[in-house]
Amino acid sequence: MEWSLTADQRRWRDTARAYATEVVAPAAPALDAEADPEKSFSWALVDAASEYGLRLAPLPPEFGGGGTDFLTNAVMLEEIAAADLGTSVVLAQTWKFAQLLMELGTADQHERWLRRLMQNRRGLMAASLTEPNGGSDNVLPYAGVNGGMQMRAEKVDGGWVLNGQKVYISNSNRADSIIAFARTNPNEPVRTGVSMFIVPGDSPQVTFGAVCDKLGERLANNAAIFYENVFVPDQDLLGRENEGLADVARLLRGSNAYAAACTLGVARAAFGRALRYTAERVQGGRRVIDHDDIGVQFAEMYSQLESARTYVFRAAWAADNAKAFDPKMAAMPKLLASQVAFDVTRASLEMFGGSGVMRETGMEKLMRDATIFLHSDGTNTVMRKKIAADLRARADGNGALDALWDW
Ligand SMILES: Cc1cc2nc3c(=O)[nH]c(=O)nc-3n(C[C@H](O)[C@H](O)[C@H](O)COP(=O)(O)OP(=O)(O)OC[C@H]3O[C@@H](n4cnc5c(N)ncnc54)[C@H](O)[C@@H]3O)c2cc1C
């Protein structure tokens, strides 16, 4: 086992760290404080991501990227999230769906959609699954025909016509291209009746709701999307007809680790601030950090954080080495990391006493940000149910239990 980053990975980490500290960190508090959630998003941060070579980092050089792997991307997302969670999500969404297009798309789709993304220096991506009445049922996914997304794609001559509504979609109103999930066979459950389509974000038949006024992750915009008679030509069906959810599960290997890395970045920032604050603040005749019980708490928090990071990076590495990828790695990294991130951030905030809840220390923003991945990318209850289903399947199989411990 090699447990160190390569020189190339360290270079990317340093670039992400420079972007985070030089550009994102100075801008984030004021953007986060905007009362109008739409204004919390900043094109200047996207422009800068393009300048630092980060916007499409995972794509190959011919499409404007650096060919970074899942592990490198997770490392970079943690760096960026340590400066601001929302900015890391804006990039993570773009990276994972650009990677999906790269892996699953035809040569023609690469030429048209990835070329377009590259040429637009503000090119971002979004993917829309969730609907007002279909959230967790798309993620588990639910086996009944009536559960999950109901948006329809009807076959017509030369293509498909999409009609329906999606909610909470990250980057939706800012996206150059959107992956739309719709039922192509309404008589099947979502697992076997949904397909993916590539839709231009500037299509006149695609409109957006008001930007969601969120508790945290405010620098990323989320909004509803309304698809009204959107014609998609046959060549913009992405992947296999009716197998959209299976294709996504197979190819979005790093997605859960990306979410995990983002939320760990928040906890890392909170932990660092708490360390610095307690090294200055004096109570009981000594620095707060010099009190034994505070030191022990820091030790516990650091152990939790490092354990979660180690697993998240292993999961990201496994995503790059498909044979080592365990399906539970599509649920466990985010489950573990979001719980640790929430606990560590809350404990860090308490180290500040009363000033922790004052905006000027930055801790209350981190606390709000740390709540987001308890639910986003699938609720943690649903993550546990997916892990439980895998364990149950192993328990039912002959001799499969040993494989639980084989990496
Ligand atoms: C910040 C943010 C960004 C997002 N970005 C995107 C995006 O880019 N694209 C996208 O498509 N979606 C996005 N979403 C939607 C997100 O994926 C859903 O919110 C999530 O899947 C949960 O669905 P829901 O909100 O409908 O909750 P529900 O599914 O209604 O869940 C409500 C409660 O019921 C529980 N529950 C549900 N089913 C079961 C069950 N079978 N057994 C036991 N308990 C259950 C849940 O755990 C939860 O506690 C985003 C959401 C947020 C908050």
In this predicted model, what pLDDT tens digit does every residue of 223-235 receive, in sequence order?
A: 999 999 999 999 9
Please check whether residues 27 and 69 belong to one and the same domain.
yes
Cα(134) to ligand 1 centroid in Å equals 8
247 inside domain: no
The Å distance, Cα 380 to ligand 1 centre, comes to 9
Q: What is the pLDDT of residue 324?
A: 81
At 393 the pLDDT is 87
Query: 70 and 194 in one domain?
Result: no
| Whole-number pLDDT of residue 153 | 98
Query: Which atom of ligand 1 is closest in space to residue 171's alpha carbon?
Result: 8
Domain of 24, in residue numbers: 7-119
Are residues 297 and 382 located together in one domain of the fold? yes
Same-domain status, 98 and 41 = yes
Over pLDDT 70: what percentage of the chain? 99
Do 132 and 188 lie in one domain? The reply is: yes
The answer as to whether 339 is a domain residue is yes
Mean pLDDT, rounded, for 93-102: 97
Clarify whether residues 23 and 146 are in a common domain.
no
Probe residue for ligand 1, chosen from 221, 227, 376 as the CB with the greatest number of ligand atoms within 8 Å: 376
- Taking alpha carbons only, the member of 67, 262, 49 closest to residue 174 is 49
In tens, the pLDDT along 332-390 reads 999 999 999 999 999 999 999 999 999 999 999 999 999 999 999 999 999 999 999 99
Q: Mutate which of 369, 379, 384, 387 to test ligand 1's pocket (most atoms within 8 Å of Cβ)?
A: 379
Looking at the structure, tell me whether residues 218 and 293 fall in a common domain.
Answer: no
Is the minimum distance from the CB of 212 to ligand 1 under 6 angstroms? no
The response to whether residue 169 sits with its C-beta less than 6 Å from ligand 1 reads yes
Domain endpoint, select from 241, 273, 291? 241
Q: What is the pLDDT of residues 202-214, one digit of tens each?
A: 999 999 999 999 9
Model pLDDT for residues 134-162, shown as the tens digit of each residue: 999 999 999 999 999 999 999 999 999 99
Whose Cα sits closest to atom 20 in ligand 1? 378
* 217 CB within 6 A, ligand 1: yes
Please tell me the predicted confidence (pLDDT) of residue 398.
63
86 CB within 6 A, ligand 1: no
Q: Is 246 within a domain?
A: no
Q: Is the CB of 382 inside a 6 Å radius of any atom of ligand 1?
A: yes
**What percent of the chain stands above pLDDT 90?**
92
pLDDT at residue 407 is higher than 80: no
pLDDT of residue 399: 64
CATH of the domain at 360: 1.20.140.10
Give the distance (Å) from ligand 1 centre to CA of residue 375: 6
In a domain, 393, yes or no: yes
Ligand 1: residue of 168, 171, 384 to mutate (most ligand atoms within 8 A of CB) is 168
Distance 136 CA to ligand 1 centre (A): 5
Atom 16, ligand 1: which residue's CA is nearest?
376
Considering the domain architecture, whether residues 36 and 78 belong to the same structural domain is answered as yes
369 lines ligand 1 (CB under 6 A): no
Contacts 24+ apart (CB under 8 A), 240-246: 240/195, 241/184, 241/195, 242/184, 242/185, 242/188, 242/192, 242/193, 242/194, 242/195, 243/192, 243/195, 244/181, 244/194, 244/195, 244/196, 245/138, 245/141, 245/181, 245/190, 245/191, 245/194, 246/191, 246/192
Residue 178 in contact with ligand 1 by CB distance below 6 A: no
pLDDT band at 114 (very low <50, low <70, confident <90, very high): very high
Confidence band (pLDDT; 50, 70, 90) for 317? very high
- Nearest-atom number in ligand 1 for the CA of 139 is 21
Q: What is the pTM of this model?
A: 0.98
Residue at which a domain ends, from 241, 275, 309: 241
- What is the CATH classification number for the domain harbouring 151? 2.40.110.10
In this structure, are 201 and 345 located in the same domain?
no
Q: Are residues 219 and 150 in the same domain?
A: yes
Mean pLDDT of the chain: 96
Is residue 78 included in any domain, yes or no? Answer: yes
- Probe ligand 1: pick from 100, 146, 334, 375, max atoms within 8 Å of CB? 375
pLDDT at site 138:
97
When pLDDT is cut at 50, 70 and 90, the band that residue 325 belongs to is confident
Summarize pLDDT for 333-348 with one digit per residue, the tens.
999 999 999 999 999 9
Task: Judge if 189 and 292 occupy the same domain.
Answer: no
404 confidence band (pLDDT: 50, 70, 90): confident
pLDDT digits (tens, 9 = 90+) for 241-271: 999 999 999 888 899 999 999 999 999 999 9
Bond before 141 cis per omega within 30 degrees: yes
pLDDT of residue 401: 78
Nearest CA to ligand 1 atom 52: 376
Whole-angstrom Cα distance, residue 28 to residue 15?
Answer: 18
- Residue ending a domain, among 207, 241, 275, is 241
129 Cα to the center of ligand 1, angstroms: 10
Q: How confident is the model at residue 406 (pLDDT cuts 50, 70, 90)?
A: confident
Number of domains in the chain: 3
Cα angle at 120 between 117 and 124, to 5 degrees? 55
> Best of 129, 130, 215 to mutate for ligand 1, by most ligand atoms within 8 A of CB?
130
Q: How confident is the model at residue 397 (pLDDT cuts 50, 70, 90)?
A: confident
Categorize the per-residue pLDDT at 323 as very low, low, confident or very high, splitting at 50, 70 and 90.
confident
**Predicted pLDDT of residue 396:** 84
Q: Is residue 2 part of a domain?
A: no
Q: Are residues 184 and 273 in the same domain?
A: no
348-351 long-range contacts, CB within 8 A, separation 24+:
348/267, 348/270, 348/271, 348/273, 348/274, 348/301, 349/270, 349/274, 351/274, 351/277, 351/278, 351/288, 351/294, 351/297
> Has residue 248 been placed in a domain?
no
Q: Quick: pLDDT tens for 267-286.
A: 999 999 999 999 999 999 99
Q: Specify if 394 maps to a domain.
A: yes
